[in-house]
Structure 1
Amino acid sequence: MLFNLSNPDTPLLEQLRGVVGVALVLPDELSPRAAGIQQFVIIDANDDIIRLIQGALGILTCQIEVRTLGLLIWFQETIAPMVLALPYHQLALFKGGDYLQLHSHPWRLKLLIEDEAVSREFQRKLFAQRAILHHKNAFK
């Protein structure tokens, strides 16, 4: 789900937290500068994301935060602060030689791996959080 955070109100923030959960690192703030966020260069994306960041000049980047129920992907190059919320149960991750690809219908992002250690740490956190969520849901 794509959220416009130019005027966040309590119901919007509650809806967003309902999709991706709370932050892994306190305090639980919704900010592209929150602790634990990693920056990636966007190589390719689906048409909706391309239209969203179309006016940006230079290298297109996004900040990704691993949260308890999903990923928050911040796009800084937009007019209004936009965030894409992808829940783990709808997320597929593919790793190529120098890129990561995230899919969650209808969204697709292909991200450049500039630092292999950063990429490994991001994947480790993502898979660990997904496993914790899967384990909790298995015993409900």
Structure 2
Amino acid sequence: MLLNVSYSNKDITKKIDEAVGKPMPIKERFAMGGIGSPKLHITEASIDIYNLLVLDSSTNTCNIEIRPNGIIVRFRSRLETYGLVIPYYKLNVYKGDIGIYSMYMDHYFIKVRSDTKAIQRFFQKLLDHRADNLPTNLEDL
């Protein structure tokens, strides 16, 4: 689900918390070694996201926040901040041959460059956390 998260809105916060869980407690953040990604450079995106990114001439970057049941991919367009909320059971991550990570959910996708070891370590942490927290039964969804 693609949402404008620029402003504090209880309805949007509730939707995000229902989809991917509340933000992790500080103790768990330290145990994981952080829950946020380094700056990721977007190389390609689905049409909905691309239409937002082309509205300004700045570099297309994003970051990822790990939540208990999913991730939030945040990016900026003009003066607005948008978040792509992806529950783990809908998240597909692929690593390309030329150092590109692709994240897919339904008809949305974002491809980012993985040109540093920090980005590769973050994606490994994300995939490990996803494996530990992926629902095993349909009733868990």
SS of 1:15's partner is helix
- Report the CA distance shift for 1:78/1:91 in structure 2 as closer, same or farther (over 3 A): farther
Aligned length in residues: 132
Which stretch of structure 1 is more off in the superposition, 119-128 or 67-76?
A: 119-128
Secondary structure in 2 aligned to 1:76? strand
Residue identity over aligned pairs, in percent, reads 23
Asked if 2 retains the 8 angstrom alpha-carbon contact of 1:20 and 1:68, the reply is yes
Deviations 1:35-78 (A, max 9, x none): 63222000000110010111221421001111111111111234
Aligned pair 1:124/2:128, yes or no?
A: no
Tell whether 2:115 aligns with 1:109: no
Gapped regions of structure 2 (runs ≥ 5): 28-33
Q: Give how far 1:25 is off.
A: 5.4
CA distance in structure 2 between the aligned counterparts of 1:73 and 1:25, rounded to whole angstroms: 19
1:30 aligned residue? none
CA distance in 1, matches of 2:66, 2:119: 13
Distance 2:40 2:11 in 1: 29
Is the Cα contact below 8 Å between 1:25 and 1:36 reproduced in 2?
A: no
Q: What's the C-alpha RMSD, in Å, of the aligned pairs?
A: 2.3
Displacement of 1:129: 1.7
Within 1, Cα distance between the matches of 2:121 and 2:22? Answer: 19
Question: Aligned pair in 2 of structure 1 residues 57, 71: CA closer, same or farther (>3 Å)?
Answer: same
Deviation >6 Å, runs of 4+: none
Q: Give the Cα separation in 1 of the matches to 2:79 and 2:61.
A: 14
Shift of 1:12: 1.8
User: Could you tell me how far apart the structure 2 residues matched to 1:19 and 1:90 are?
Assistant: 11
Shift of 1:24: 3.6
CA–CA distance in structure 1, aligned partners of residues 23 and 122 of structure 2: 14
Q: For residues 23 and 118 of structure 2, what CA distance do their matches in structure 1 show?
A: 19
Secondary structure of 1:65 counterpart: strand
**Alpha-carbon deviation of 1:126?**
1.3
